[in-house]
Structure 1
Amino acid sequence: MEEGHLEFGPLGKGCVHLCVDMQRLFAEGPWEAPWVKRVLPVVERLASARADRTIFTRFIPVERPGEGVGSWKRYYERWGDVTLERLAPGMTELLPPLARLVPPAEVLDKTVYSPWLQGDLHGRLQARGCDTLVISGAETDVCVLGAVMGAVDRGYRVVLPTDALCSSRDATHDALLTLYRERFGQQVETAMTEEVLRAWQ
């Protein structure tokens, strides 16, 4: 699959932009992903162009260290500084250029990587007549991965604007894009944001 080529044609009325976890939580502090600030203007441009067709997800940590089910309990023993009782106020909020788009954009909160397990994302999309998801945000190899695989399993066409994705690890970001292109070619397309916006009329 060539970069910048939407193999399955234009994006129609059934397209929705799912923007994953573009929050202060990932722009500063222990979980800072430096790419977040770099891709923010691109994500903002994409979301602004279709704010009424955008859903932002927010990752919400547990209240205090050691909470969580199964391996999440161990996870929050390791990452106690990013629990709600220790985070500075406002850290789970969307970054300001994106927060100003709500409404008409919507917000879906989740406590795990995937946005498909809480908040009835699939139902909300079906109510909009959605058949295609443009997925942007953070991080390519964690929460975006969860969003992509859930979308694929539910039969959505998935479009990834590669310049609107970010990770704290270059190697795994690149590896995931390679995986999508080489193994998910019938379900996942990659293109630059400019190409996506031209196709979404």
Structure 2
Amino acid sequence: MPEEKHLQHGPLGENCAHLCIDMQNIFAGDTEWHTPWMERVLPFVERLAEARPERTIFTRFIPAQHPGEGEGTWGRYYERWRTMTLDALPPGSIDLVPSLARLVPPAEVVDKHVYSPWTEPGLHERLQARRIDTLVISGTETDVCVLAAVLGAVDLGYRIVLPTDALCSSSDEAHDALLTVYRGRFGQQIETVSTEEILRAWR
């Protein structure tokens, strides 16, 4: 299913914000969670964030402090990924990549300890207080944390716009499959277009 050429539900305005998922050193650097083509999409994420820094919220995924920590299956998860716990990672690993970190403030940061940012208190309320009803969602990974952010936002009633050139994954197959799902199964709530089209439509 091809990328849409234009936004199906019209232009974007003051009720729109940019939610950028987990563009952090932990995924950009030489770690077990390295996302190889984050570097390729970073310029598109930068364009979105630089265009509306005061309307950008960055999320950061915060791993467990040590192996085995976490509720339920998260404990097993961090036994498997023991090199990715805070005790094992070098300083600065959970920071945003430098080109995005420099935009804070006015951009904001929300830390989360699971895939979805909606489980952390305050994000939805913060957006509602600003009368945000539309989210441009960029970042990593298309099939994990971006997926959790998108589905949570759909459940909360947000209009979702995905910049297909500003999303990345460590799995090409899963990335492509999720874009097909987003377009084919959630077409009333999710629009998929290029960064260029979003910037042209965001007035």
Q: TM-score, normalised by structure 1?
A: 0.98
Letter in 2 for 1:21: D
Aligned ranges 1:178-193 → 2 under 5 Å: 178-193=180-195
Letter in 2 for 1:126: Q
Letter in 1 for 2:88: R
Q: 1:61 aligns with which of 58, 63, 75?
A: 63
Aligned ranges 1:29-68 → 2 under 5 Å: 29-68=31-70
Same amino acid, percent of matched pairs: 69
- In structure 2, the partner of 1:140 is 142
1:2 shift after superposition: 4.4
- In structure 2, the partner of 1:103 is 105
Q: 1:156 aligns with which of 158, 162, 174?
A: 158
Deviations 1:102-147 (A, max 9, x none): 0000000000000000131100100111000000000000000000
Distance 2:35 2:119 in 1: 24
Q: 2:96 aligns with which of 90, 94, 97?
A: 94
User: Partner of 1:116: helix, strand, or coil?
Assistant: helix
Determine whether 1:7 maps to 2:11. no
Distance 1:123 1:35 in 2: 33
Consecutive unaligned residues in structure 1, runs of 5 or more: none
Distance 2:81 2:10 in 1: 43
Bigger mean CA deviation after superposition, 16-25 or 120-129: 120-129
Consecutive unaligned residues in structure 2, runs of 5 or more: none
The ranges of structure 1 where at least 4 consecutive aligned residues each deviate by more than 4 angstroms after the TM superposition are none
Equivalent pairs counted in the alignment come to 201
Distance 2:97 2:124 in 1: 25
Q: TM-score, normalised by structure 2?
A: 0.97
1:4 shift after superposition: 2.7
1:5 shift after superposition: 1.9
Distance 1:166 1:151 in 2: 19
Distance 1:146 1:53 in 2: 21
Bigger mean CA deviation after superposition, 114-123 or 54-63: 114-123
- In structure 1, the partner of 2:22 is 21
